[in-house]
Amino acid sequence: MADLLIELGCEELPASASLPLTTGLADGLHAALVDAGLVAESVAPVCHCTPRRMAVYWSEVGERQADQLIERRGPAVKAAWEDGEVGGTPSKALAGFLSSAGASVDDIVTVETPKGAWVAVKVNKPGQTLDGLLAEVLPEVLGKLPMPRRMRWGGEAHEFLRPVVWLLALHGQRVLDVEALGLKAGRATYGHRVHAPGPHDLVQASDYLAVLQGAYVLADVSARRSRIVEDVTAAAKAAGGTAVSDESLIDEVNSLVEWPVALAGTFEKRFLDIPKEALIQTMQENQRYFALLDTSGDLMPGFITVANLESSDPAVVIDGNERVIRPRFDDTMFFWTQDASKSLADRRDDLERVLFEETLGSVGDKVTRMRKLCVVLAPITGANAEQAARAADLSKCDLVSEIVKELAKMQGIAGRYYALRDGEPSEIAVAVEQHYWPKQAGTALPENAIGTTVALADRLDTLVGIFGIGRKPTGAKDPFALRRAAIAILRMAIEGELDLDVDALLNATADVYSNSGVTLEALDQTEVSRFVRERMRVYLTSDSSTAGGLAGDVVDAVLAQSVGFNPYDISRRAVATAGFRAEPAAVSLSAAAKRIGNLLDKSASDEAAAASVDAALFTEDAERDLATALYALKPEVEQAMQQGDYVAALRNVATLATPVDRFFDQVMVMAEDTAVRANRLGLLRELSGLASGVADLSRLVPQEVSQDTDAAS
């Protein structure tokens, strides 16, 4: 056993490609090595990559497969012998088989199969060498790696995302006899293009990272990333600020450099008149710079860039970066100034020329519908209806501004700045930006009632409209982000503690479409409601929900019992039910609920359950005790339900566990006397109605069983 290293050297790969390609290479080779028995499945490959290399390393890999004794089947017994009997004169078919297998008549065994008896021999199959295996597998794996397009180079027919320059393959200290993409494997790797290009020979595979570090290449992805974060943070601190960063920017920079060096640059203060979000976006997306904020959170006239070399004159590198960013900021300044010539409200008519969807009309049409929906939503969200309608009118106007045309991510943000510049109230300006919130799962919700109102109107209009033209999501395809829209509605209702009747709002939205002259021929509001309910289950069972990731059976029990579709109410019921489910009484009451449901279902056709319970028909103490406990608790449970105190309601229901258990132990529900039987069924029906007011308890799984199931899944 020895360590194994495979490295493929390329011309610079796109930032988005190096790590996925290296991971794909590792997965493909690892699967082949495990199947061949040359590496344990638990010995996971380690990926190293830079813009110029893809490398995979294993710590313990075998040299050669073990020999295998395999059974090789020949002709049928009847065809193997001239006289058809075992041990007779071998036929030509048998002689040819023995010759090809390198065996004699003495090696023959008879194998019985469903199709009769066959001749077979046991032959030794030599194990494949690591070299032989990789010679077969490596070109195949490289040919199957996913990439948008492949290119050819030189006069060869080989193809890859970028031209391949070198191939390294070491097993311990030995160079493997492997070829791929026209290259024969060696022990040389190549260092930094400027500082130490190489080649650099490796004595053994385990020297890889150390040799490359000496050649100014940090091949370890996580180590290189850590250095970038540390150096950028230090450079920002030295400049008197804090770097604006996110994971995607760090990952992208990490994929662009082999030897990161953080350098601080500056730009003219006049550019700070531009919204800082526009400057930050320009720096991040166009130049991969880290913007700087001061202690007040304001943008500083500076940035941190990560160079890919240690320059003998860093000032030259810094100056070059400063000269590159200046014209980009000049363009942004031009757009910002140009947009000032027209107010946000004056851009409203321009939205009529921006298409939302061919059947549903323009963005201007959508805004008109949103305005009408805001009037419906305002009493629920607590927003001022007039201000909400105004915010809806302005919400999309920045889409036709020059700065958003240039920097798409400024939509909403630019609208806020322009609204404030036009003298709109700050609440409306904030709503213009935040009606796009939450932008992604788990991100912030609108911070005021006006923003929430416009955000809900926007999502409802999209959901109903797109379903209404028959373009609902299918599988992984969701071009209008309807799943995200549904989750956003649910989050705003639940986390904002809003009493939304989703079905009523879907009806109101459909009416707005109808009154606007748009016919939604494919609209099935029940289907839309079901779609949002399905997202409700996804949200409540996820760890990101405010409920903390509830068990699936808890959510199903509540959804099955809820008459209306009020997400906030459902979430509160679910949280209360989750707490009840942890109580010892939940096990017996859940079992009792299942039993009661079965009994009532069986008797439903005969209408055997009494409309009201008659205490005079009680014959057993257990049924009297249950009735006494039930009717004593009923007012308290009903009051708790009316007040929305579902925890108290279930706490009271839990006290029925003992009399319920005694009832089923001592009372024959299906008595021969029809009046007694109907009376007992009537009692159980009342019990079921009271106990399952919050959730359908029959759907709850005993906690210990549910936990095992979740763990297994």
Please give the pLDDT value at position 85: 66
DSSP structure string for 184-212: E-BSEE---TTT----EE-SSGGGHHHHH
Please give the pLDDT value at position 605: 55
Residues in the chain: 713
Half-sphere exposure of 292 (CA within 13 A, CB side): 23
Place of tokens 């549904």: 486
pTM as predicted: 0.79
Task: Please give the residue range of the domain that contains residue 205.
Answer: 2-63+129-214
Of 121, 74, 109, which Cα lies nearest the Cα of 93? 74
- How far apart CA 224 and CA 252 sit, in angstroms, is 12
86 and 199 fall within a common domain: no
121 and 51 fall within a common domain: no
353 assigned to some structural domain: yes
Residue 175 CB coordination number (10 Å): 16
Query: Which strands form 46-50's sheet, in the order they lie side by side?
Result: 46-50, 53-61, 2-10, 164-171, 174-175
Q: Is 431 exposed, middle or buried (0-12, 13-18, 19+ CB in 10 A)?
A: buried
73 and 59 fall within a common domain: no
pLDDT in tens, 375-404: 999 999 999 999 999 999 999 999 999 999
Look at the alpha carbons of 240, 246, 248, 250 in this order and tell me if their dihedral is positive or negative: positive
668 and 535 fall within a common domain: no
Half-sphere exposure of 371 (CA within 13 A, CB side): 17
144 and 39 fall within a common domain: yes
Please give the pLDDT value at position 544: 73
Banded pLDDT at 708 (limits 50, 70, 90) = very low
- How far apart CA 351 and CA 366 sit, in angstroms, is 9
pLDDT of 712 above 60: no
Please give the pLDDT value at position 705: 41
DSSP structure string for 536-584: HHHHHHSTTSTT----HHHHHHHHHH-SS--HHHHHHHHHHHHHHHTSH
CA 222 to chain centre: 23
Residue 106 CB coordination number (10 Å): 6
Residue type at 348 in one-letter notation: R
644 and 676 fall within a common domain: yes
418 assigned to some structural domain: no
Answer whether 453's CB lies under 8 Å from 462's CB. no
What's the rounded mean pLDDT across residues 148-172? 90
Higher-scoring residue by pLDDT: 584, 265 = 265
- How far apart CA 72 and CA 53 sit, in angstroms, is 44
pLDDT of 80 above 90: no
Answer whether 164's CB lies under 8 Å from 181's CB. yes
Residue type at 408 in one-letter notation: A
Q: Is 152 exposed, middle or buried (0-12, 13-18, 19+ CB in 10 A)?
A: exposed
Domain final residue pick, 174, 189, 214: 214
What's the rounded mean pLDDT across residues 417-422? 96
Of 332, 336, 334, which Cα lies nearest the Cα of 279? 332
Domain final residue pick, 110, 125, 140: 125
Please give the pLDDT value at position 710: 39
Look at the alpha carbons of 444, 445, 448, 454 in this order and tell me if their dihedral is positive or negative: positive
What's the rounded mean pLDDT across residues 354-376? 96
393 and 493 fall within a common domain: yes
192 assigned to some structural domain: yes
498 assigned to some structural domain: yes
Answer whether 428's CB lies under 8 Å from 416's CB. no
pLDDT of 711 above 60: no
pLDDT in tens, 303-356: 999 999 999 999 999 999 999 999 999 999 999 999 999 999 999 999 999 999
Q: Which helix (H) or strand (E) holds 707?
A: helix 703-712
SS3 357: strand
9 and 154 fall within a common domain: yes
Place of tokens 């990101």: 544
Answer whether 111's CB lies under 8 Å from 117's CB. yes
331 and 352 fall within a common domain: no
492 and 615 fall within a common domain: no
What's the rounded mean pLDDT across residues 216-236? 97
- How far apart CA 626 and CA 95 sit, in angstroms, is 88
How many independent structural domains does the chain possess? Answer: 5
- How far apart CA 62 and CA 58 sit, in angstroms, is 11
pLDDT of 707 above 50: no
pLDDT of 527 above 60: yes
Banded pLDDT at 155 (limits 50, 70, 90) = confident
Please give the pLDDT value at position 515: 94
Please give the pLDDT value at position 703: 62
pLDDT in tens, 494-518: 999 999 999 999 999 999 999 999 9
Answer whether 397's CB lies under 8 Å from 347's CB. yes
Q: Which helix (H) or strand (E) holds 50?
A: strand 46-50
- How far apart CA 674 and CA 669 sit, in angstroms, is 10
Tokens found for residue 643: 């007040």
Higher-scoring residue by pLDDT: 698, 116 = 698
496 assigned to some structural domain: yes
404 assigned to some structural domain: no
160 assigned to some structural domain: yes
What's the rounded mean pLDDT across residues 280-296? 94
Please give the pLDDT value at position 704: 53
Answer whether 140's CB lies under 8 Å from 129's CB. no
SS3 68: strand
Domain final residue pick, 149, 181, 214: 214
pLDDT of 1 above 70: yes
Distance set, CA 87 to CA 74, 116, 232, 386, 485 (Å): 15, 17, 83, 102, 78
pLDDT in tens, 92-106: 888 888 888 778 877
Please give the pLDDT value at position 706: 43
571 assigned to some structural domain: no
- How far apart CA 138 and CA 87 sit, in angstroms, is 47
Query: Which strands form 116-125's sheet, in the order they lie side by side?
Result: 68-76, 116-125, 108-113
pLDDT of 243 above 70: yes
Angle, CA of 689, 691 and 697, to the nearest 5°: 105
Tokens found for residue 544: 């990101």
47 and 146 fall within a common domain: yes
Q: Which residues contact 602 (CB under 8 A, 6 or more apart)?
A: none
What's the rounded mean pLDDT across residues 232-247? 94
pLDDT of 547 above 70: no
What's the rounded mean pLDDT across residues 105-110? 79
114 and 134 fall within a common domain: no
**DSSP 8-state assignment for residue 90:** B
Of 284, 279, 283, 298, which Cα lies nearest the Cα of 240? 298
Please give the pLDDT value at position 71: 76
Please give the pLDDT value at position 370: 97
Q: Work out whether strand 299-307 and strand 361-362 pair parallel, antiparallel, or are unpaired.
A: unpaired
Paired strand residues for 264: 304
Of 669, 698, 686, 675, which Cα lies nearest the Cα of 628? 686
